[in-house]
Amino acid sequence: MTVKAMTSKEVTKKVFNKEELFIFDVRNESDFQDWKIEGENFEYFNIPYFELLDGVEEIIDKIPSDKEVLVVCAKEGSSIMVAEMLSDAGLKVSYLQGGMKAWSEHLEPVKVGELRDGGEMYQFVRVGKGCLSYMVVSNNEAAIIDATRMTDIYLEFADRIGAKITHVFDTHLHADHISGGRTIAEKTGATYWLPPKDATEVTFAYQPLEDGNDVENGHVKINIHALYSPGHTIGSTSFIVDEKFLLSGDILFIDSIGRPDLAGLAQDWVGDLRESLYKRYRELSEDLTVLPAHFMIIDELNEDGSVAEKLGTLFAKNHGLNIEDGNEFRKMVTENLPPQPNAYQEIRETNMGKMNPDLEKQREMEIGPNRCAVR
């Protein structure tokens, strides 16, 4: 019997709308425990598919008949097989089209605000990986910040709204995902900006993004102020857009702060991290809306699926911004680091232009959860 496919976009809608969904994940237990589809009202059941090769009779009573059921695997093949067996047994189920690989790559654009000249700020939520990227649109010109390697969605979105991509930025040299910034710049002729302190080993030309840079986007003056804020990397740079939005990169998240160890220099950089968060950010307006480059947990999503919060609210509620003692801060940061992201050294080298892995290898390098924050 043919079973219905559910797309990553459809699952994302369920995440944003806080709908109920029963997920039957047939990957190995270790893979499931490490990384799964998260939703506030999702339920989970995990049995490796190879335990179901002789049939689903023994687990059929674990699958509800009164709830929407989605079967999930790594690439989709195993989930189709299991979904068909469940369907033959009389249950109504769907499978995740493209599996967790497709889930990792889906980007959902969300409008997060207006700019003063009639321009707009869009956030692209990579809900399966926790990555956030941005498009600033003004007077039919677009600037993109922290693009993922799935570049077509930015190009198609800009084309759909009639905007020409003129600038592409990375807030820092990413270690958890492959940047699409250079590719977009090559395809569009846009200027590609990088913080020079993170770019000492890159093999390609770029425009240095330094403290105090103002970059005009659109005929009406919209300034993207570069604010040097080291800590996650030595070159980490924040942007203040239109005196309204603070794009914090991986320095500050909604519920946590950035980890300073992905170049092996946690002890050296933790002081920079504290300086950026406790001094440089304290000098900014608390009315700025913080737009980070990642989110850690599904609870950080707002009602519309966006990830954003006022800086003043974060100073009040984010534990990482409220540790008065410097030694205690150092201890908290260096002793609460999650495992390193998968293949992070290879990802860094790819983002430097030293490696050029094929698409399948890139997908493999990025598989797994986002681990950019201090726990």
Both tokens of residue 48?
A: 């490796």
Q: What is the pLDDT of residue 207?
A: 94
Give how far Cα 199 sits from Cα of 210, 248, 351, Å: 12, 19, 9
pLDDT digits (tens, 9 = 90+) for 165-214: 999 999 999 988 999 999 999 999 999 999 998 899 999 999 998 888 88
Q: What is the pLDDT of residue 108?
A: 96
Q: What is the pLDDT of residue 274?
A: 86
When pLDDT is averaged across residues 307-326 and rounded to a whole number, the result is 93
When pLDDT is averaged across residues 139-156 and rounded to a whole number, the result is 96
Q: What is the pLDDT of residue 341?
A: 63
Using alpha carbons only, give the angle 34, 290, 219 rounded to the nearest 5 degrees.
125
**CATH tag for 4-102 (out of 3.10.450.50, 3.40.50.970, 3.40.250.10, 1.10.645.10):** 3.40.250.10
3-state secondary structure of 112: strand
pLDDT digits (tens, 9 = 90+) for 108-132: 999 999 998 889 999 999 999 999 9
Both tokens of residue 80?
A: 């189709």
Give how far Cα 232 sits from Cα of 64, 79, 142, 260, 337, Å: 44, 38, 26, 4, 12
Q: Name the CATH topology of 107-366.
A: Metallo-beta-lactamase; Chain A (3.60.15)
Mean per-residue pLDDT over the chain, rounded: 90
Range with lowest mean pLDDT among 25-39, 298-312, 355-369: 355-369
When pLDDT is averaged across residues 127-138 and rounded to a whole number, the result is 94
Q: Nearest-CA neighbor of 83 among 56, 57, 50?
A: 56
Label residue 334 by pLDDT band (50, 70, 90).
confident
Q: Residue 202 burial (CB < 10 Å; 0-12/13-18/19+)?
A: middle
Q: What is the pLDDT of residue 219?
A: 52
Question: How far is 271 from 314, CA to CA, in rounded Å?
Answer: 20
Domain coordinates in residue numbering, the chain: 4-102, 107-366
pTM for the model: 0.93
pLDDT at 231 over 80: no
pLDDT at 262 over 90: no
Q: What is the pLDDT of residue 218?
A: 73
Percent of residues, the chain, with pLDDT higher than 90: 69
Give how far Cα 193 sits from Cα of 129, 136, 171, 276, Å: 24, 15, 9, 21
Label residue 303 by pLDDT band (50, 70, 90).
very high
Q: Nearest-CA neighbor of 164 among 183, 136, 126?
A: 136
Both tokens of residue 233?
A: 């990397």
When pLDDT is averaged across residues 221-226 and rounded to a whole number, the result is 70
Which residues carry out catalysis? 73
Label residue 372 by pLDDT band (50, 70, 90).
low
When pLDDT is averaged across residues 237-265 and rounded to a whole number, the result is 83
pLDDT at 59 over 90: yes
Asked if 236 and 198 touch (Cβ cutoff 8 Å), the reply is yes
Question: How far is 103 from 142, CA to CA, in rounded Å?
Answer: 26
Q: What is the pLDDT of residue 141?
A: 94
pLDDT at 97 over 90: yes
Question: How far is 131 from 177, CA to CA, in rounded Å?
Answer: 8
pLDDT at 221 over 80: no
Q: What is the pLDDT of residue 46?
A: 97
Strand-pair partners of 70: 23, 94
Alpha-carbon torsion, ordered 362, 365, 366, 372, to 10 deg: -130
Asked if 342 and 369 touch (Cβ cutoff 8 Å), the reply is no
pLDDT at 335 over 80: no
Q: Nearest-CA neighbor of 239 among 337, 162, 172?
A: 172
